[in-house]
Structure 1
């Protein structure tokens, strides 16, 4: 049964480990063992220190809105259901609406965008691909509830105003960042990417997977 289900799921979460890239100045992943199996101890128990933005993650409105809900307070509906993966590799530093037009017809409520040929997993990409804010607006106008991207942010790494995040806030969209879409074909899938119920956090790691619809 486990083998059957593993064949049906496509894991789109990059590995999280020591050395996983993080936004400059953010908290890197660290793990320490508080207990290890030994004659006097029957279990291994680790403690983790990490930013909730390490690896594939869901930003909460609290991340870009001081009055926004934490990730543990958001509705889970946007993170589960039909989605479309759209390829825009080589489109430039900003993903514009026209880059998505070839896959725009009958958009489902969730859109994941692959911008890398190969996602960098050994360093932070300071020139990361990002969304133009008008692209987020167009997706919201089309009824999209959640957008996702394979880079670390929907805004350029050096942005101080975060215009695409602000459109997410204004239009009530949810977002997934740092997805691993290297080997995912363009097309429609079921997305499963539930955040943890962290009641005070501005984001949560997710184990994001896709299930083929056919």
Structure 2
């Protein structure tokens, strides 16, 4: 059996946030070094910071919220597909890929992986356009993961997310660290913090290869 691979980015003050709007901070409240007898810290982090899950409620006011998401969808077989040298990913691009029929969970590895997660937010990241949602509808894909802070192209964020979450079962997993995974089948475990009524939540995401 293949080893588990961590697809979550390490969280510290250097991670980017969307539009640089919600920087992460960790406040040291107690410290053994300062004579407190124990270490304790408080976190200030956005629901869409670091590796995270978007619930339908993020863009669908009647949609499922984080604590209502289907655990069976958050865990199970997924397919990692690689698509490079594209600034925007369309329906036709996805149709041209070797994505197996019956795939329910799809992770899309792009040139974002080579760019990485610099502290300053980038607007030129690779993302989906609205037409890509049609592919997910046709193929019954309910979980989509990508390697930057949004599944969409920057200037189509509202349109893509709105169309994506018209399906109230659908889940987006964003800001995945995909350097160590390659095209093929994996077992995925994606567990967001169970924040009641939230539109999103940071998550720990791991995978292991199934077809190696």
Please state whether the residue corresponding to 2:155 is helix, strand or coil.
coil
The residue that corresponds to 1:13 in the other structure is 8
The 10-residue stretch of structure 1 (187-196 or 125-134) with the greater mean CA deviation from structure 2: 125-134
* Mean Cα deviation higher: 181-190 or 100-109: 100-109
Aligned residue in 2 for 1:95: 89
Distance 1:83 1:105 in 2: 10
User: How many Å apart are 1:61 and its aligned residue?
Assistant: 1.6
**Aligned pairs, how many?**
207
Query: In 1, distance between residues paired with 2:43 and 2:192?
Result: 17
Alignment of 1:70-89 (within 5 A): 70-89=65-84
Q: 1:39 to 1:47 in 2, by over 3 A?
A: closer
State TM-score, norm by structure 1.
Answer: 0.88
| TM-score, structure 2 as length reference | 0.89
Give the Cα separation in 1 of the matches to 2:189 and 2:17. Answer: 23
- From 140, 143, 147, the equivalent of 2:140 is 143
| Equivalent in the alignment of 1:194 | 191
Q: Which residue of 1 aligns with 2:103?
A: 108
**Secondary structure in 2 aligned to 1:102?**
coil
2:18 pairs with 1:54? no
Residues 105-164 of structure 1, C-alpha deviations (whole Å, 9 max, x = no match): 32421000011251421131211111122212212221211111112112222346x222
Query: Residue 115 of structure 1 contacts residue 150 of structure 1 at CA under 8 Å; is this kept in 2?
Result: yes
8 Å contact kept, 1:58–1:206: yes
Q: CA deviation at 1:31?
A: 0.5
User: Deviation digits for residues 52-99 of structure 1, max 9, x if unmatched?
Assistant: 21111101122112332321222222211000001111122x211332
Paired residues of 1:126 and 1:157 also in contact (CA < 8 A): yes
Gaps of 5+ in 1: none
Closer, same or farther in 2 for the Cα pair 1:98/1:200, shift >3 Å? same
Distance (whole Å) between structure 2 residues aligned to residue 39 and residue 132 of structure 1? 52
* Gap regions ≥5 residues in structure 2: none
Paired residues of 2:79 and 2:103 also in contact (CA < 8 A): yes
RMSD: 2.0
